[in-house]
Amino acid sequence: MLIELMGLRKILIPFTILGLMAILYMNFMHWNEPAESYYNSMYLVNRTTTVFNGILLVFALIIVFLSANFYKDEQNHWSDYLAIYMFAVCGAMLMVGAHHLLMTFIGIEILSVSLYVLAGSNRKKLESNEAGMKYFLMGAFASGILLFGMVLLYGATGTLHYEKLSTFLYSHTTLNIGFLYSGLILILIGFLFKVSAAPFHFWSPDVYQGSPSLVTAFMATVAKIAAIASLYLVLNQVFVPLHHLYDVVLIIVSIATICIGNILAIIQSNFKRMMAYSGISHAGFMLVGILAVDFNHWDLIAYYAAGYGIANLIGFGVAIVVFKSMQNENISAFNGLFFKRPILAVTLTIALLSMASIPPMAGFWGKYYVLSAALSKDLLLLVLIAIVNTVLSVYFYFKVFVAIYARRADNTPIDVSGWYKGFLILLTLVLIAISLMPDMIARCL
Amino acid sequence: MISILLLILPLLFSLIILAGPKQHTARLSAGLSVVSLLVSVYAYCEFMQHGVTQFNFDYEWIKNPSIHVKFTMDGIALLLIILTNLCIPFVHLSASARKLDHPRIFHFLIFLMQSALIGVFISNDLLLYYVFWELTIIPAYFLLLYWGGQNRRRITLKFFLYTVFGSLLMMVAIFYLYANYSQGGALDSISIYNIKVEPKAQTWLFIGFMMAFGVKLPLIPLHTWQANTYHMAPNQGTMILSGLLAKMALFSIVRWMMPIVPIAVVKLAPYVAGIAVIGVIYAGIVAIMQKDMKRMFAYVSLAHISLMVAGIFSLNQSGIQGAFVQAFSHGINTIALFICADIIQNRTGTTELSRLGGIRKIAPKFTTVFFVVMLATAAIPFSNSFISELVVLYGIFHATPTIAFVAVFSLVLGAVFMLRMFRQAVLGPENSNTSGFRDLSISEKITTYPFVILIFVFGLVYQPVFNVSTDSVNNLLTYINTWSMYTPGSILP
């Protein structure tokens, strides 16, 4: 899993891709076998973790493809960046597969520390340094809170292993220890920080805006989905007996997250900042999923995550080349894109239509699953608020369309190579394919 | 198979256009879309001989939620499909006079809209229907956004937010139905007759559905996007919006909403009909005061469609069937009206009534066509909308005589605003704008003369159009009457 390379720059990308593909293969190798655990049963491999890890690996592959173009001018640090990305992916997979809270914590830390470095990796730009610093300070704080919560939990129960914890909680239903409850709340806070849910979202717009665009794409997809999956697995494997405690918290947090994400996205003029807020609102929707979707329907959350991630990656893939040529990261950089680069414009349009959840795109089916699960749990108010917010989200995604199609272009040409366009088209086809088969994960199971 | 063909052909044509030559796109598209028209005429013949069964198509698309790609066609759908396919060639052809930027994409989008519209009419699965319903807006949005006139960004956004807001409320209603009543199966036009939604939920579902349809129709007070949008949109876009997309909502009320929430429909029908009739009078008065031709047509359309809604909510056979016949004629008439407006706009660069006039002397052929279309819109005897309007009014009278009494004034108002518009736009002295007005060119003759013929043909041939929808409407009415009679109880939440 760990790839570190010195020299031999030409084969760097092919090697990384081959490595990731090999891991992807190994990931699915155990598909038909019963669940297995490793490292004193601290790491679990079953179909759930396989699917989530598969999604993360595919996204990592896409990021590596995109990095070939993104780091073209920075040949010197290429291998460093790629190695850090691979560390981060490793951490993300550990988070998903973990079956012991300490392992989860180690995964989170590997992912976070790599991201701190990557966020600040554009050393010559002030914003990048600021993003790295800000992310590091707040992230370290959140890790501390998470770890403190785990300590309290250990004090209350005497174990951190998922299964043992769960049996303990089931057998001590009348247990009323302050340690346990405060531990649970602190752990929740730690996770909610990582998924950038309100009110722990303040870092995300600044960090997304300041970081290099590819790192932003990585944070918005791999890091966010790993955190969501990990939270989902922890809550559903361990804390189900305490769900009356955290349900209300999650309802309030998800409503706040959806509202804040969408309302603040409307007033943004910076594309990356807008995507940060839209990511916050999508995290809110996934929290609704965590709240409402039964554990044997985990594939619905995986589907939402996959659709959201692919659309996001296409969006950033287009944005990266446009920003690079235009020297501008505002929505106005897309002005008249359709008449300069129709293929880029159309792929971006399809991706944003999916994120705006226009049927029959993947974003629509994702929201359908999440919201109908919420409806069957009688959360009508939550659903109505979510729907109103969907209309708001249409408003800001369509601001981009207005820029692409209805504003005059300036004369700056946009450089993009043929294979890059081909790759984006391929991604768009994948997005359309998963839009047309929303039940594909369930069918494979 | 015919239903698949009807759906796929426009998609195929759209690709041909996109890859085709840059010149004469409008003519090429018009020629291609005639093929669709021929297929729908063939479908009509089959329908007359063998009934509806041979249009069925069923394929399981998604297991969770259970969605089938399931197509069927009933009489109402067939009527509206024929209307769509009949009008689309002329919409394409009318674009040939003006020089458009990127004509291929323009016609590509029109074909996409046609395909999505037909999808709405033939799909027989609630979620599939919703997918097509939403798909119709996306080409419309891009059509308006790029080829629109002044203030297009703001107005298009308003249009889009209205429609999306309405659709999303319908989406909640549909999600609710799937979560609570589908039992893991699909909801199609047969199973919605069996789900028996509890009366209290029906009111909410009714509101959810009606918001979506009310925006699309539009009904007052949800109409405020309409006049601006029609005025700003490229004329071809306006033709489709008013002539075809509005019919989609009428169709959906009858096809989907009434069977799902029959009790709420029966209880709330007088209120909706009342709102609609207020809309008729309001739109008529506002139309008289308009200074711009296209804005005026928007209000005329609002008035006519409100009357159709009142007819549908009279819940009897002549009301509903008459409304669909009127929808058919209204589609033809509005599109003809906007084609005339398009010709005027291309010649003079304006549609403001005060800057027009004196066209009659220099362009007699155009004036004749415009005169016929104008009279047909005002529902003069022997024009196509005359009988259907009478039948609708008859239906409304049966349900609630007071509402019918008010609605009758729409006929008077219609004559007033159409004649006033015609006097200002065509008669009177020439001015600098209209002095160089050419008479119809050959392609314009091809575009407009068929409408004159259609207006007279459907003014005389009424019964066949009426009969197409008889079976479907009878089924629906029997169901609504039986169920709402046996289920007493309050629907107020």
d(CA B20, CA B5): 21
Tell me what ipTM this predicted complex has: 0.80
pLDDT higher than threshold 80 for residue B434? no
Q: What is the percent of chain B where pLDDT is above 90?
A: 2
d(CA B353, CA A350): 41
A2 confidence band (pLDDT: 50, 70, 90):
very low
**Residue A267 burial (CB count, 10 A):** 10
Which has the closest alpha carbon to A317: A175, A216, A166?
A216
Least confident span in A98-107, A245-254, B469-478: B469-478
pLDDT higher than threshold 90 for residue A313? yes
Q: Which residue has the tokens 């509206």?
A: B80
B52 confidence band (pLDDT: 50, 70, 90):
low
Q: Are B433 and B356 in contact (CB under 8 A)?
A: yes
Chain A neighbors of B62, CB-CB under 8 A = 437-439
B54 confidence band (pLDDT: 50, 70, 90):
low
Q: Indicate whether A160 belongs to any domain.
A: no
The beta-strand segments (E) located in B206-295 are none
Tell whether A359 lies on the interface with B, counting CB pairs under 8 A: yes
pLDDT higher than threshold 60 for residue B104? yes
pLDDT higher than threshold 50 for residue A421? yes
d(CA A290, CA A283): 10
pLDDT in tens, A145-155: 999 999 988 88
Q: Indicate whether A417 belongs to any domain.
A: yes
pLDDT higher than threshold 80 for residue A127? yes
User: Minimal Cα–Cα distance from B148 to chain A, Å?
Assistant: 10
Most confident of A274-288, A394-408, B153-167, B450-464: A274-288
Chain B residues with CB-CB distance to A under 8 A? 62-65, 130-131, 134-135, 138, 141-142, 145-146, 152-153, 157, 160-161, 164-165, 168-169, 171-172, 175-176, 178-180
pLDDT higher than threshold 60 for residue B487? no
Phi-psi region of A293 (alpha: psi -120 to 50; beta: other; left: phi over 0): beta
pLDDT in tens, B351-390: 787 788 777 878 888 888 888 888 888 888 888 888 888 8
Question: Given this model, what pLDDT does residue B202 score?
Answer: 85
Which has the closest alpha carbon to B84: B41, B37, B27?
B37
Q: Answer whether B131 sits within 8 Å of A353, measured CB to CB.
A: no
CA distances from B21 to A67, B139, B147 (A): 38, 21, 20
Question: Given this model, what pLDDT does residue A175 score?
Answer: 62
Q: Answer whether A387 sits within 8 Å of B168, measured CB to CB.
A: yes
Question: Given this model, what pLDDT does residue A221 score?
Answer: 92
What average pLDDT does this structure show over A410-424? 83
pLDDT higher than threshold 70 for residue B485? no
Q: Are B72 and B189 in contact (CB under 8 A)?
A: yes
Q: Retrieve residue A135's tokens.
A: 């992310």
Question: Given this model, what pLDDT does residue B93 score?
Answer: 85
pLDDT higher than threshold 90 for residue A111? yes
Q: Which residue of B has its CA nearest to A408?
A: B146
pLDDT in tens, B241-259: 888 888 889 899 988 888 8
pLDDT higher than threshold 50 for residue A114? yes
pLDDT higher than threshold 60 for residue B493? no
pLDDT higher than threshold 90 for residue B4? no
Least confident span in A74-83, B102-111, B121-130, B334-343: A74-83
Interface test with B, best of A402, A443, A445 (most B CBs within 10 A): A402
d(CA A99, CA A40): 10
Residue A365: which domain range? 244-445
Burial label, A61 (beta-carbon count in 10 A; 0-12, 13-18, 19+): middle
Partner residue opposite B134 with nearest CB, options A358, A437, A438 = A358
What average pLDDT does this structure show over B27-50? 84
d(CA A425, CA B38): 36
Mean pLDDT, chain A, integer: 85
Q: Indicate whether A159 belongs to any domain.
A: no
Counting the structural domains of chain A, the total is 1
pLDDT higher than threshold 60 for residue B486? no
Q: Give residue limits of the domains in chain B.
A: 1-198, 261-483
Partner residue opposite B175 with nearest CB, options A372, A402, A437 = A372
Question: Given this model, what pLDDT does residue B316 score?
Answer: 84
Interface test with A, best of B153, B161, B232 (most A CBs within 10 A): B153
Determine the distance from the C-alpha atom of residue A17 to the mean position of all C-alpha atoms in its chain, rounded to a whole number: 21
A5 confidence band (pLDDT: 50, 70, 90):
very low
Pairing state between β A36-38 and A43-45 = antiparallel
For chain A, the C-alpha Rg in angstroms (whole number) is: 21
d(CA B97, CA A363): 40
pLDDT higher than threshold 60 for residue B492? no
Chain A neighbors of B112, CB-CB under 8 A = none
User: Minimal Cα–Cα distance from B90 to chain A, Å?
Assistant: 26
Q: Answer whether B169 sits within 8 Å of A359, measured CB to CB.
A: no
Query: B123 — phi, psi (to 5°)?
Result: -75, 140
CB pairs under 8 A between A and B: 65
B451-486 in b/e form (b: 16+ CB < 10 A) is bbebbeebbeebeebbebbeebbeebbeebeeebee
Question: Given this model, what pLDDT does residue A226 score?
Answer: 93
Q: Answer whether B168 sits within 8 Å of A406, measured CB to CB.
A: no
Least confident span in A112-116, A393-397, B464-468: B464-468
Interface test with B, best of A369, A371, A372, A395 (most B CBs within 10 A): A372
Q: Answer whether B152 sits within 8 Å of A406, measured CB to CB.
A: yes
Question: Given this model, what pLDDT does residue A4 score?
Answer: 45
Q: Answer whether A359 sits within 8 Å of B145, measured CB to CB.
A: no
What average pLDDT does this structure show over A253-275? 90
pLDDT in tens, B71-93: 888 888 888 888 898 888 888 88
Query: A30 — phi, psi (to 5°)?
Result: -90, 20
B491 confidence band (pLDDT: 50, 70, 90):
very low
Q: Answer whether A358 sits within 8 Å of B165, measured CB to CB.
A: no
Interface test with A, best of B137, B147, B171 (most A CBs within 10 A): B171
Chain A neighbors of B142, CB-CB under 8 A = 401, 405
This prediction has a pTM of 0.86
d(CA B463, CA B325): 10
Phi-psi region of A196 (alpha: psi -120 to 50; beta: other; left: phi over 0): left
Q: Retrieve residue B61's tokens.
A: 């698309």
pLDDT in tens, B301-342: 888 889 889 888 888 888 888 888 888 889 998 999 888 888
What average pLDDT does this structure show over B460-475? 81
Question: Given this model, what pLDDT does residue B379 score?
Answer: 81
